[in-house]
Amino acid sequence: MTDNKEQFRPADHPNDSFILTTVVGSYPKPKWLDRARDLYEDEDADFDENAWQEAKDDGSRLITNEHERAGLDVVVDGEMRRNEMVEFFADRIEGYEFKGPVKVWGHNTFDKPSVVGDVEYDGSWLVDEYEFTASVADRPVKVPITGPYTLASWCFNEAYEDDAALANDLADLVNEEVEKLVEAGARYIQIDEPALATTPDDHAIVGDCLERIVDDIPEDVRIGLHVCYGDYFRIYPEILEFPVDEFDLELANGEYEQLDVFTEPEFTADLALGVTDVHVAEVESVEAIKENIKKGLEVVPPERLVVSPDCGLKLLPREVAYEKTAKMVEAAREVEAELDEGEIEVGRGAVADD
Amino acid sequence: MPELVATSPGLFPLPDWAKDRLSDQKGHQKHDLISGDEGKEIVETYEEARSEAIDRQRDAGLDLIGEGQLRWDDMLAHPLAVHDNVETRGIVRYYDNNNFYRDPVVTGDLTFDGDVAAELEAAVELRSTSRQHSSSSETAAAAETDSLQAVLPGPYSLADLATDEHYGDEAEFLDAVADFLVGEAEAFPDVETLFLLEPSLVENAPGDGVDERASEAIDAVADAVDAEVVAHTYWGALDEKVYAHLLDADVDAVGFDFVADQADNLYNINEYGATDDVALGLVNGQNTLMEDADAIRERVEWVDEQTPGADFGKAYLTANAGLFYLPYSEFEQKLQALADAASAQEVKA
């Protein structure tokens, strides 16, 4: 593990301490972008491929700039071009097929794809998205990618012996995509593996996949792993063996009940800590978020701490998503200033008592 | 070879047109799910979808026809989710699937409800109308021979999926859930079979004492109907003690998931014996990969060979789990494969 976090410190950063602020990825789409998609999908509407491309570019530009306005150190375009975290990739990978919507809960459905043959890399998935976002951003850009284990678990597997075999093949494709992203200039990649939370016993499969993904990727490229909504004690400390720089964890939603899991044995990676809850529409105060950030300092020192919301923000009203992000940045800057002044002691016990 | 009977464990997917229409009619928040007092338009949509579900099963040629459980937004938790003395709270994960249901919290006595009986009455009505109005001689002929099947969660699984804030004691709660299901089942119209779905017996196996109680609870529900009762288990094989206790219940058949596990299911049958009839979960209700009729029949023969001590009178051919996991056209093909597998025998005979 190398220290590749410092490269993201903005030139005009106000404090000596640097707690990197970023988001997990998704962000509420402006209503007009959803309408534009409806028009694009309506054969009778006068709205062609070019118009749809223009709408997506505008959406991407808008949310990238909104992230910068909120003060984030590393931005994303809010995944404005993506529909759903599995569907988007399955649509671009040879071997997947869509057979119809299936139930998730109640009468709500999603287009769960089937893997009907060997998965193959059939042209880049995210390089265009990255290049556009980087061209309109003044800050570094992070690229979230749905991980191979989740891409394997959340589909119908018709073609492979088991999900592990499918996940391994998919990991090779993710590796190919990450290589292309790095060539295009990307320095911060986040692998999203929410499926690990539902089947924690499969952590070894995820570990094998990550080895394949980082193969031949330069060490100065920061690789994060996002896992959410699970019982972390079932995957810790085993995940410390994973070849990633940081773990992005959802902990605000459970009011840090699971924080202790990461203190014994010692957490040796960087921690990207969820410090706002994405499942409540109330915006937390700067003071409350500062307390959450200090929870992170119980696990790692400031130079190894990153803060972000618990998970993607896309289900929140847009103004709430913005306020949560802006207040999170404000809170991080205040904690940094207090660290610089020696007002906060780092480590367990020191902050836990205040 | 036992007599083959084509059926399914129910919990069908909604037809795509119904998914679209309900999405407009119901909304997308958790309070928009089925509550038991839905309005006229929504009732009509489900009625139309139920009619289609019955036609599909009849067209495929299934021997036992269910009403489809299309209203069961909360899957097996449905009978409690619509109950007056149950509050539906947070969205929680359904077993280790990537599906979710509303946590049904029991806050008062589990009195008689009648929701499932009303669905079956509607199915009886639809079946008789379809029989009278059928212009195709084939469908009319099918209507003469197929029979109605009811589906309920088994008492252990239903208690396992729920949260108790009223009875206060695990054993008392299981008995209360069993009593509730007895009342529901007693109100059913005439049905040929009752499938009691008990995935929790596998997924969250009952320990000492509770295994016996779970079996007694199933026995109580089975005694409430004048029908063949199948206690269907899935997502693996039962612990042997749980299986041994289950055999004490007065059920006509135990159902085994041969998609998820072959060796342990065979072991249980060979080691502890079996009911007179059996349900064989041979079709994967959770994968779009298709089994054809010949492959299903080969598996039936294989199970028959591998269980030399058992002499099953009837074998219910079924999907291992509810079929809502599948896209609609794959669901239809799976029903067809099951029906074809069973009818191949009739042709040969």
Q: What is the pLDDT of residues B111-156, one digit of tens each?
A: 999 999 999 999 999 988 766 665 555 555 555 678 999 999 999 9
In B, which residues are within 8 Å of A154 by CB distance?
98
Q: Is residue A351 part of a domain?
A: no
In the sheet where B163-164 sits, what is the strand order?
Answer: B86-93, B100-106, B163-164
A237 preceded by a cis bond (ω within 30 of 0) = yes
Q: What is the pLDDT of residues A321-352, one digit of tens each?
A: 999 999 999 999 999 999 999 999 887 654 44
In B, which residues are within 8 Å of A106 by CB distance?
26, 30, 32-34, 73-74
Residues 6 or more apart from B84 whose CB is under 8 A from it?
B108, B111, B113
What is residue B280's predicted lDDT score, i.e. its pLDDT?
98
In the sheet where A246-249 sits, what is the strand order?
Answer: A20-21, A305-308, A270-274, A246-249, A222-227, A188-192, A143-146
CA B339, B345, B348, B349 torsion-angle sign: negative
8 A C-beta contact, residue A252 and residue A310: yes
The 10 Å Cβ neighbour count of residue A217 is 16
Q: What is the dihedral of CA A89, A93, A96, A102, to 10 degrees?
A: 10
Burial A103-126 (b: 16+ CB within 10 A, else e): bbbbbbbbbbbbbbeebebeebbb
Q: Is residue A231 part of a domain?
A: yes
The 10 Å Cβ neighbour count of residue B231 is 28
Tokens 């999170």, residue located: A328
Q: What's the token pair of residue B8?
A: 């399914």
Q: What's the token pair of residue A20?
A: 């990197």
The count of domains in chain A is: 1
Q: Does B16 touch chain A (CB under 8 A)?
A: yes
In A, which residues are within 8 Å of B26 by CB distance?
106-107
Q: What is the CATH number of the domain that holds B281?
A: 3.20.20.210
Mean pLDDT of the region A18-41: 96
Average predicted confidence (pLDDT) for chain B: 93
Mean pLDDT of the region B274-282: 98
Nearest to A103 among B13, B32, B288 (CB): B13
Q: Is residue A347 part of a domain?
A: no
Q: What's the token pair of residue A24?
A: 């997990």
A113 preceded by a cis bond (ω within 30 of 0) = no
Three-state SS string across A98-144, please? ECCCEEEECCEEECCEEEEEEEEECCCCCHHHHHHHHHHCCCCECEE
Q: Is residue A353 part of a domain?
A: no
Share of chain B above pLDDT 90, in %: 85
* Full domain range(s) for residue A135: 6-340
Nearest to A256 by CA among A351, A182, A180: A351
Instruction: Give the span between the Cα atoms of A288 and A256, in whole angstroms.
Output: 13
8 A C-beta contact, residue B123 and residue B148: yes
pLDDT tier, B345 (very low <50, low <70, confident <90, very high otherwise): low
Q: What is the pLDDT of residues B186-238, one digit of tens each?
A: 999 999 999 999 999 999 999 999 999 999 999 999 999 999 999 999 999 99
Helix (H, G, I), strand (E, B) or coil at A260: helix
Q: Is residue A345 part of a domain?
A: no
* Full domain range(s) for residue B97: 3-348
Helix (H, G, I), strand (E, B) or coil at B100: strand
What is residue B142's predicted lDDT score, i.e. its pLDDT?
58
The 10 Å Cβ neighbour count of residue A232 is 20
Q: Is residue A137 part of a domain?
A: yes
Please give the DSSP secondary-structure letter assigned to residue B291. Answer: P
Share of chain A above pLDDT 90, in %: 88
When comparing pLDDT for A249 and A2, which is higher?
A249
What is residue A227's predicted lDDT score, i.e. its pLDDT?
93
Q: Is residue A350 part of a domain?
A: no
pLDDT tier, A13 (very low <50, low <70, confident <90, very high otherwise): very high
The pLDDT of residue A353 is above 70: no
Backbone angles phi, psi at A192, to 5 degrees: -100, 120
What is residue B211's predicted lDDT score, i.e. its pLDDT?
97
Distance from CA of A100 to the nearest CA of B (A): 5
Mean pLDDT of the region A141-146: 98
What is residue B298's predicted lDDT score, i.e. its pLDDT?
96
Instruction: Give the span between the Cα atoms of A156 and B325, in whole angstroms.
Output: 10
Contact residues of A toward B, CB < 8 A: 99-109, 112, 114, 153-154, 156-158, 195, 198-199
Instruction: Give the span between the Cα atoms of A95 and A225, in whole angstroms.
Output: 25
Quick one: which H or E segment has residue A322?
Answer: helix A318-340
Beta pairing partners, A222: A188
Tell me: ipTM over 0.95: no
Q: Do A106 and B32 touch (CB under 8 A)?
A: yes
The count of domains in chain B is: 1
Q: Do A100 and B16 touch (CB under 8 A)?
A: yes
Q: Is residue A105 part of a domain?
A: yes
Share of chain A above pLDDT 70, in %: 97
Burial (0-12, 13-18, 19+ Cβ within 10 Å), A97:
middle
Q: Does B98 touch chain A (CB under 8 A)?
A: yes
Q: Does B90 touch chain A (CB under 8 A)?
A: no
What is residue B11's predicted lDDT score, i.e. its pLDDT?
98
The pLDDT of residue A118 is above 90: yes
Quick one: which H or E segment has residue B127?
Answer: helix B115-133
